[in-house]
Amino acid sequence: MITDDAFPVEPWRIHETALNLNLLAQTESVFALSNGHIGLRGNLDEGEPYGLPGTYLNSFYETRPLPYAEAGYGYPEDGQSIIDVTNGKVIRLLVDDEPFDVRYGELLEHERTLDMRAGTLTRIAGWRSPAGKRVNVRSTRLVSLTQRGVAAIEYVVEAVDEFTRVTVQSELVANEDQPQPSADPRVAALLSNPLQAVHRETTGQGALLVHRTRASGLMMAAAMDHLVEVPGRVEVDTEAVEDWARTTVICGLRPGQQLRIVKYLGYGWSSLRSRPALRDQVAAAVAGARYTGWQGLLDGQRTYLDDFWDSADVEVEGDPDCQQAVRFGLFHVLQASARAERRAIAGKGLTGNGYDGHAFWDTEGFVLSVLTYTAPRAAADALRWRASILDLARERAAELDLAGAAFPWRTIRGQECSAYWPAGTAAWHINADIAMAFERYRIVTGDESLEAESGLAVLVETARLWTSLGHHDRHGVWHLDGVTGPDEYTAVVRDNLFTNLMAAHNLRTAAQACERHPEAAYAMGVGTEETAAWRDAADDAHIPFDRELGVHQQCEGFTTLREWNFTKNTVYPLLLHEPYVRLYPSQVIKQADLELAMHWQGHAFTAEQKARNVDYYERRTTRDSSLSACTQAVMCAEVGHLELAHDYTYEAALIDLRDLQHNTRDGLHMASLAGAWTALVAGFGGLRDDEDVLALDPQLPDGISRLRFRLRWRGFRLTADINHTEVTYTLRDGPDGDLVIRHAGDPLRVTTQKPTRVAVRRRIALLPPPSQPPGREPLRRQLRRGRRTGGARRDAPIDDNEDV
């Protein structure tokens, strides 16, 4: 686990004060930079040592056959894996004739800082060579948020106490050696040398390489150019072969003199464009970067982020860990999406190759719920990507003998890549999650153009899927059989409550959208009989409820299943230690399934039902999923268990900064990082939008003295400033002078003229705080107990989206 000794808690920076080679792979993920198009892991400038080298282009992948012990009809044949493309980060340094390597000589100083307001990664190193020559090195790296195809590095070398000959080798490197993957099912498949050389060229101070993937046939190009500043004589030379290019800079430095190099990088890829067109594209990107200049790129980065934070920042007083972590989460969620522009937002963003770079339901369910309120343009682009793969989803539905469209459980390009049916294709709820994201965007932004442009078709085709999947029984009740909800320990069941509620929402939303766009709906063949059938199915959907226990059932019959033996079967994650034949028929839960239903469709439950459901399901949820903690935080806060909610918030927020699940090395958990915002804003801020109105019902735990957050709503920017007794709402620059929101269940008019102050409604818990399964209380409580007893955790939860 990463401790706060490695990363001191600061509100706007992630600051590593000393290099720990044992944490190198984790810090490469933490210090990753991206703009949604280009992703650079936080590898050391000199390229080694490394945990996992990584340079990624969004949706640039290679295909591979999916292995099956026994194949079945409808199983996908090929998988897609994101690949490490040409690495332009490498800048090697030789001091006289000795290479700068942190493992040799004497490392006198080493600090790295991720600045979340500047959008840069800065490194400062002081090094004495084995021969006694001392140099200081400072590098600053960025991936431009304003120029989509551009990254840049400023690299400065200073001689300290005697004359030193300095050689810098700045490189482009393709087909880097990759470490062997572990047996962990979350990591990526190993693809050896996936790139074939197509073209290379050099200039005096730069080079360009073009490569093509062997199987998927995608072509990418990378270019570099350099600005070199040094007093006195300097020699610059460039050479290139198939898989690498190198610009070498040689000079002599007296004590106090500096060599400054600015390395401009351009990246692009295409499945359609010609080699000359792609070559010209990246050459133009580099030329544009040089025209802007290093300071111009820094200024553009800061301006972009200032605008983002003005509408997205969350301030947490009393809990500095969560303050740092929620900004870290927002920063990386923005990086994953800012310039993705109609390409997928992967479960790990572009910070690592975990899950092979696939996008899941996490995107629409967790990431877009944050972006819609903070960066709606990025949310719209992500939804346009989903709409762009609608034809592939239609083909998948037809392959499965279903109507409408069946979106893939995991994918890069749009084809289904999940080789595990129970926790893949059977998790049909992804289709309703996508529909919900389109509807949330319309409600929150007030912009109906996206629905007219592409959302209507998605809503119609997903509604058709549900009517094809579901059926009315002889009593007139509508059922969904053979489905898997968010909890993958209870798979292929009848009437998963979450799925049924989300399908009903999808059906109603589609019918309403058709009413808003009658001509477009008619052109799609939608008539009044079809929309009436959608509404009937939604109204008749079965909602399992155990009247004897007074709780909803996660699926039909769930509360009658065998109780899990938590006295002996407690080595987590259970899926790596217990057979599914034991997990599936038991009351044991991987991910907060029914609690998520209560968060996203809260209007379908009474306050008493929510309290009883939380009490029942908390005791059975192992949280073997990175998506659970934020949901449990929201629902525990709503039913009055504020301190428990605070502990879950910590777990969601610190998942990667503390490597709580021991797999940060493979990339960051985008959904959980987004979940930190959700836990604070939806949990302690009480934000809800499932009844088409902006509703807030804030209340803080003892450990947070003040919570202040900003969000966008229909052209307004709203700030909520909460303490333990009152909340102040400030409305900015909206289309009208005032806005009606719902505060603590009652209508409240807020205006741009002055802040509105109202009292916080105190929530009374109907039941005592519930216990968790043995060893599964929130991690902060385990850590506190471990510090008291000197003990340590012996296991960790696993991610969601499992395909094993």
Active-site residue list: 488
The number of beta carbons lying within 10 Å of the beta carbon of residue 64 is 18
The number of beta carbons lying within 10 Å of the beta carbon of residue 602 is 17
* Cα 106 off chain centre by: 38
The number of beta carbons lying within 10 Å of the beta carbon of residue 755 is 12
Q: How far apart are CA 693 and CA 429, in angstroms?
A: 24
Residue 718 and residue 710 in contact, taking contact as beta carbons nearer than 8 Å: yes
Residues 673-706 as b or e (16 or more Cβ within 10 Å = b): bbbbbbbbbbbbbbbbbbeeebbbbbbbbebbee
Task: Tell which residue, 81, 25, 85, has the closest CA to residue 57.
Answer: 85
Token pair listed for 117: 């307001």
Query: Who contacts 633 (Cβ-Cβ below 8 Å, separation ≥6)?
Result: 645, 646, 648, 649, 652, 675, 678, 679, 683
Angle at 485 between CA 800 and CA 442, to 5 degrees: 90
Task: Tell which residue, 473, 482, 472, 633, has the closest CA to residue 555.
Answer: 482
Can you give the length of the chain in residues? 804
Longest dimension (CA), the chain: 91
Residue 540 and residue 490 in contact, taking contact as beta carbons nearer than 8 Å: no
E strands present in 174-270? 195-202, 206-213, 219-229, 234-240, 244-253, 258-270
Residue 716 and residue 735 in contact, taking contact as beta carbons nearer than 8 Å: yes
Pairing of strands 695-696, 738-743: parallel
DSSP string, 550-619: TEE-SSTTGGGSEEP-TTT---SSGGGTS-HHHHTTEE-BSS--HHHHHHHTGGGS-HHHHHHHHHHHHT
Counting Cβ atoms within 10 Å, is residue 379 exposed (0-12), middle (13-18) or buried (19+)? buried
Q: How far apart are CA 20 and CA 192, in angstroms?
A: 29
Q: How far apart are CA 162 and CA 165, in angstroms?
A: 10
Q: How far apart are CA 236 and CA 204, in angstroms?
A: 7
Task: Tell which residue, 437, 466, 420, has the closest CA to residue 580.
Answer: 420
Show the 3-state SS of 481-506.
Answer: CCECCCCCCCCCECCCHHHHHHHHHH
The number of beta carbons lying within 10 Å of the beta carbon of residue 306 is 10
Using alpha carbons, list the distances in angstroms from residue 666 to 32, 102, 350, 395, 590: 11, 23, 10, 32, 21
Which letter does DSSP use for residue 537 in this model?
A: H
Residue whose structure tokens are 């909602």: 543
Q: How far apart are CA 720 and CA 729, in angstroms?
A: 5
Amino acid at 339: R
Residue whose structure tokens are 């979350």: 186
Query: Who contacts 735 (Cβ-Cβ below 8 Å, separation ≥6)?
Result: 714, 715, 716
Token pair listed for 77: 């044949």
